[in-house]
Amino acid sequence: MGIGRVADAAHWEAYSGLLDPGTISALLRRDFSPGSLRRRLLSGGILVAVDQGRVVGFADAAVESEQVRLRGLGTDPERRHARVAARLLEEVRKLAPGLPVSADAFLGCSPVEGYLEAQGFVPGEVLESDLFGELTVERRWWLPPG
């Protein structure tokens, strides 16, 4: 599936050296296995960007009571500068225009944190969690309603 290919490339590029390779693999299996993707696609939780029949990006978002939670945003590395992610983010904002958008990024993941900041997100609270046995620290970023 094209989403899995994009997620795989994006995760390894962004998190190599930041997370243990086993953690990256487990994260990809949990969130981007064919069964997991099928369930989320059927529930409407994933927006997909396609160009000439090829998946070039995706946004995984959920409207919650007080926010739109951006759970994932990935772009084909070959299309990184084609504004695919920015257009997907515009569509995410349309899901609930009156609500802020939140996105969690691993601290020290400069490409993701820099992208969020460039898109108008502001840093918020710091969150610690155990991800497949690895202690991780994330920052929640906020994009005000627009």
Q: What average pLDDT does this structure show over 12-30?
A: 95
pLDDT at 22: 97
Q: How many domains does the chain have?
A: 1
β-bridge partners, 74: 58
- pTM exceeds cut of 0.85: yes
Sorting pLDDT into bands at 50, 70 and 90, what band is 1? low
CB of 64 closer than 8 Å to CB of 52: no
| 134 has a pLDDT exceeding 90 | yes
CATH number at 77 reads 3.40.630.30
Sorting pLDDT into bands at 50, 70 and 90, what band is 39? confident
Cα–Cα distance for residue pair 73/49, rounded to 1 Å:
11
Residue 43: give the domain boundaries: 2-143
Characterize the bridge pairing of strands 101-106 and 68-75. parallel
| 102 has a pLDDT exceeding 90 | yes
Give me the percent of the chain exceeding a pLDDT of 90. Answer: 83
Q: What average pLDDT does this structure show over 5-17?
A: 92
CA angle, corner 118, sides to 29 and 87, nearest 5? 65
